[in-house]
Amino acid sequence: MRPHSWRGSFCSRISDVSDKGNAVTADQHRNSGEVVRRTGFNRLLFTVVNSGKGLRFLLRKEEAFQLEALLACVLIPVAVLLPVSPVERLLLIGAVFTVLIVEVLNTSIEVLTDRVGLDRHELSGLAKDLGSLAVTFSLILWTVVWGTIVYQHWPFTAQ
């Protein structure tokens, strides 16, 4: 059996989420805990609320996402200011968002794996390793896209 290669348990990072006992999510009725099926504007509103909870968790507890979000805050304005074509600008910004999206999915896999069980299991480790591989691929994509476009236009001159 392989040594334990995946990042540690999320228990310490999500303790404030799980220690709330019978916490009610935004899509549950406050008294009964039943899932409420929302439609229309209410559904959109509660989607935004739940997405905000996820983003707040990532920004507070997930170090990799914090770093990638900081890079996004720098690179997206740089992409807007670079003298490149609109398609190249979309590729630059899209590569940044791809890294963020894949990191969110990777963190979801890690949290769910830890929720299922904290004991070391080969499949749990594999799930986390594969999520990490997906993040690595997105970072390679980001590097290739940015490197190719920036290299192609270097040195920058006003268009």
The percent of residues in the chain predicted with pLDDT above 70, rounded, is: 79
Q: What is the pLDDT of residues 50-83, one digit of tens each?
A: 999 999 999 999 999 999 999 999 999 999 999 9
**pLDDT, position 52:** 97
**pLDDT, position 5:** 44
Q: Can you list the residues of the chain whose pLDDT is less than 50? A: 1-11, 16, 18-19
**pLDDT, position 29:** 67
CATH number of 62-159: 1.10.287.3610
* 143 Cβ contact list (under 8 Å, min separation 6): none
- CA–CA separation, 113 and 109 (whole Å): 6
Q: Give the containing element (helix H, strand E) for 146.
A: helix 122-153
**pLDDT, position 103:** 98
Kindly list the distances between the CA atom of residue 34 and the CA atoms of 9, 25, 132, 140, in Å, as whole numbers in the listed order: 29, 10, 35, 43
Q: Closest Cα to residue 118, out of 2, 16, 15, 1?
A: 15
**pLDDT, position 70:** 98
**So which residues are the catalytic ones?**
103
| Other residues' Cβ atoms within 10 Å of the Cβ of residue 12 | 9
**pLDDT, position 61:** 96
* 131 Cβ contact list (under 8 Å, min separation 6): 105, 106, 109, 110
Q: Is 21 left (phi over 0), alpha (psi -120 to 50) or beta?
A: left
Q: What residues does each domain of the chain span?
A: 23-61, 62-159
What's the predicted TM-score (pTM) here? Answer: 0.77
Q: Closest Cα to residue 153, out of 93, 145, 142?
A: 145
